[in-house]
């Protein structure tokens, strides 16, 4: 078995419930990965600027598949971005007005945006995942930015029903995917984490059999199905465990780090 590339989701996967990880243990693993020539990639629905903040010492040498694949940056160089057509942005915002219990963040290349009338609690929650988050009077009036995706939040118990309703309401405009904890992302069809990883694979000449991926939510399904070695967290959603080749211990049991140590020994 030869692994040349590892991609990890962050929330519920690499990060524990306190939104952190064993930094000393990972530093040793990362050093070993470098010595073996293995690329380490962060693949998350979150904003690039937020993801970088978790790796202050090494962010400049890492690769990020951010915004669920809509923004790919490697060693601070922009590799790829997807763009939602401005008319579609307007159409989708109009559709979302029908969903009374939902809250919306519009995710752009320069910043994320939230309506200033949203509850303060929601805005504060959003700022954890979007380090660049601007409050604006009206999401319909955002110009001068490239929009990647919509990040929606609903009561957890409504998510499955809302996903079905969004599929029906949106048609082929955008694809709704669950990203855990009551969050739903609306992404461009075909632009998901696996697509982002493929951009990097092409850049580095790495095939899917040499790729290991780790995830826990619906937005990880494509990259788990794509990789030669795929791991669902013990805390993962049932459908994620079905797609992944193996289920490992949970994010609070450092499942990713434990498994990486094993993989490095056998590589």
Architecture of the structural domain at 86-187: 2-Layer Sandwich (3.30)
Q: Residue 11 contacts by C-beta under 8 Å, 6 or more apart in sequence? A: 19, 44, 45, 46, 179, 180, 181, 216, 217
Report yes or no on whether pTM surpasses 0.85. Answer: yes
Percent of all residues in the chain with a pLDDT value above 90, rounded to a whole number: 86
How far is residue 44's CA from residue 234's CA, in Å, rounded to a whole number? 18
- 181 pLDDT more than 80: no
pLDDT recorded at residue 31: 98
pLDDT recorded at residue 1: 65
State the catalytic residue, choosing from 9, 183, 216, 220: 9
pLDDT tens per residue, range 191-207: 999 999 999 999 999 99
Is 85 marked active-site?
A: no
pLDDT tens per residue, range 19-57: 999 999 999 999 999 999 999 999 999 999 999 999 999
pLDDT recorded at residue 175: 92
29-42 b/e (C-beta count within 10 Å ≥ 16 → b): bbeebeeeebbbbb
CATH of 5-81+191-266, one of 3.20.20.70, 3.90.420.10, 3.40.605.10, 3.40.50.1000: 3.40.50.1000
Assign 42 to helix, strand or coil. strand
- 236 pLDDT more than 70: yes
pLDDT recorded at residue 147: 96
Percent of all residues in the chain with a pLDDT value above 70, rounded to a whole number: 100
User: What's the whole-number average pLDDT of the chain?
Assistant: 94
pLDDT tens per residue, range 49-97: 999 999 999 999 999 999 999 999 999 999 999 999 999 999 999 999 9
pLDDT recorded at residue 135: 96
Mean pLDDT over 242-267 rounds to 97
How far is residue 250's CA from residue 236's CA, in Å, rounded to a whole number? 8
pLDDT tens per residue, range 101-118: 899 999 999 999 999 999
Q: What residue segments make up the domains of the chain, in order of their start?
A: 5-81+191-266, 86-187
User: Under a CB-based contact definition with an 8 Å cutoff, are residues 230 and 224 in contact?
Assistant: yes
Residue 150 binned pLDDT confidence (cut-offs 50, 70, 90): very high
Residue 177 binned pLDDT confidence (cut-offs 50, 70, 90): confident
Mean pLDDT over 134-155 rounds to 93
Least confident stretch, 84-88, 90-94, 157-161, 217-221 = 157-161
């Amino acid at each position: 078995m030869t692994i040349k590339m590892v991609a990890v989701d962050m929330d519920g996967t690499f990060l524990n419930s306190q939104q952190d990880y064993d930094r000393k243990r990972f530093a040793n693993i990362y050093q070993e990965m470098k010595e073996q020539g293995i690329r380490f990639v962060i693949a998350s629905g979150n904003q690039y600027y937020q993801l970088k903040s978790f790796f202050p010492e090494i962010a400049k040498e890492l690769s990020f598949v951010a915004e669920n694949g809509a923004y790919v940056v490697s060693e601070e160089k922009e590799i790829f971005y997807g763009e939602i057509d401005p008319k579609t942005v307007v159409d989708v915002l109009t559709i979302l007005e029908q969903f009374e219990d939902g809250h919306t963040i519009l995710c752009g290349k320069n910043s994320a945006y939230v309506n200033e009338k949203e509850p303060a609690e929601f805005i504060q929650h959003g700022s954890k995942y979007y380090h660049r988050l601007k409050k604006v009077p009206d999401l319909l009036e955002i110009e001068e930015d490239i929009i990647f995706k919509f990040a929606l939040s609903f009561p957890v118990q409504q998510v499955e029903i809302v996903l079905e309703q969004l599929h029906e309401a949106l048609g082929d405009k955008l694809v709704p995917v669950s990203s855990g904890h009551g969050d739903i992302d609306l992404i461009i069809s075909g632009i998901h984490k696996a697509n982002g990883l493929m951009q990097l694979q092409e850049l580095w000449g790495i095939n899917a059999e040499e790729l290991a991926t780790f995830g826990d939510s619906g937005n990880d399904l494509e990259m788990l199905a794509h990789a030669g070695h795929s791991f669902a967290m013990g805390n993962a959603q049932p459908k994620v465990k079905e797609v992944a080749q193996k289920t490992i211990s949970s994010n609070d049991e450092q499942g990713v780090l434990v498994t990486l140590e094993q993989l490095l020994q056998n590589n």
